[in-house]
Amino acid sequence: MSVQTKPFDVAEVLVDEDRIVAYLEEAFADGDPAFIASAIGDVARARSMTAIARETGLARETLYQAFSPEGNPTLATVTAVVKALGFQLSIKPLAA
């Protein structure tokens, strides 16, 4: 008897606000732009990319492409999606 496996999809475990916030905070703390974009895309998928597309006025396919591992979303796309997710971007000084 063989074991059946499937690829891990983090969007499947982003089921509540606490997990989503922790995940996004970790991505931003890491500072890697690709990881940040990927994390935002993961949260958008967890919350419904169709709903995010509707709210931002951007095509769903465009969002999937922008937040894919090969994507490079513009700042306008990032801010629109973050707002649609119910968050805001902010700046704070680095710790000394």
Whether residue 50 is contained in a domain is answered as yes
Amino acid at position 24, single letter: L
pLDDT in tens, 13-64: 999 999 999 999 999 999 999 999 999 999 999 999 999 999 999 999 999 9
Note down the domain range covering 48. Answer: 10-84
Q: Answer yes or no: is 41 within a domain.
A: yes
Is 2 a member of any domain? no
Q: Does residue 1 belong to any structural domain of this protein?
A: no
Residue 93 lies in a domain: no
pLDDT at 1 over 80: no
Q: Does 68 map to a domain?
A: yes
Number of domains comprising the chain: 1
pLDDT for 52-89, tens place per residue?
999 999 999 999 999 998 999 999 999 999 999 999 99
Residue 4 lies in a domain: no
Domain membership of residue 92 (yes or no) is no
Buried b (16+ CB within 10 A) or exposed e, 48-87: ebeebbeebebebeebeebbeeebebeeebbebbbebbee
